Amino acid sequence: MTIAAAEIKSCCASAYASPAARFLLGDRLHPGGAALTSVLAEALAVGPGKLVVDVASGSGASALQLARETGCDVIGVDLSPESVEAATLAAADQGVRVRFVVGDAEALPLADASVDGVLCECALCIFPDKAAAAREIARVLRSGARVALSDMTAERERLPAELTSLAAWVACVADARPLPEIANLLSDAGLHVERVEAQDEMLAALLDRVAARLSVARMTGSMSVAGAVDQGEQLVVAARAALDDGALGYGIVVARKP
């Protein structure tokens, strides 16, 4: 199936800013939640006086956590103006000084060699041009700085048809890549890969939580978009089968700019 890049980007940006995404996922729009964000924050090895960019910052929860846990300055970049606005409000509410800006991961609004770390969680899988996003990450990093990334992983040729739709793309599945391919994207962009780890159990836990929220939605009639609960349940069942089959997973990659 060929879907235009612009359509994919616009669907992904609006889907994750929607009340349905917040209802199903909370403010952590990735497997592993705050605990996995802490693992990535530690891998970045940054502290006060350093600047980190959270690429595809979503609700802003990870950027705020990173600022609190490490004391570094953080800027969040996301394609969705609604998400950037919500994240800016969350930062003001929590009294944490993090700036959020609208921008595309494939053309980051940051100068060359201007940041001491890049965080990117569960997002490379939905960027249509992953090589461009990897090059952008490498471009903005200072020499010696790291990117810590977590992402959905998949062997696309083994995914069933229902996991290759636009909805499955938005759900981070249809264009996810195997963990070694994600590492190769970063090394092809000039980064030195230091760590590659599967975290498939994090995806299993997320699917269980989403299935439970969908049951609540079915009982209470929330998520009023026609067919949304049915479609969500079908995606979760297919994703769980693909995970059990080893065709789908989650993982982390840490790489350093030489």
256 binding ligand SAM? (CB under 6 A): no
- Per CB under 6 A, the segment of 75-83, 179-187, 197-205, 238-246 that binds ligand SAM is 75-83
Written as six digits, the tokens of 66 are 């990173």
- Per CB under 6 A, the segment of 77-85, 92-100, 154-162, 238-246 that binds ligand SAM is 77-85
Q: Are 26 and 32 in contact (CB under 8 A)?
A: no
As a whole number of angstroms, the distance between CA 57 and CA 109 comes to 14
For residues 44-81, one letter each, b for 16 or more C-beta atoms within 10 angstroms of the residue's C-beta and e for the rest, the string is: bbbeeebbbbbbbbbbbbbbbbbbeebebbbbbbbbbe
Written as six digits, the tokens of 211 are 């299935």
State which of residues 73, 104, 136, 175 lies at the interface with ligand SAM (CB under 6 A).
104
100 binding ligand SAM? (CB under 6 A): no
16 binding ligand SAM? (CB under 6 A): yes
Q: Are 106 and 132 in contact (CB under 8 A)?
A: yes
Residue 98's SS3 state is strand
Least distance CB 219 / ligand SAM (angstroms): 26
Least distance CB 17 / ligand SAM (angstroms): 6
172 binding ligand SAM? (CB under 6 A): yes
Residues touching ligand SAM, count (CB under 6 A): 25
Written as six digits, the tokens of 241 are 């089968």
Choice between 119 and 226, CB closer to ligand SAM:
119
Which parts of this chain interact with ligand SAM (CB under 6 A)?
Answer: 9, 12-13, 16, 28-30, 56-59, 62, 78-80, 83, 104-106, 121-123, 126-127, 172
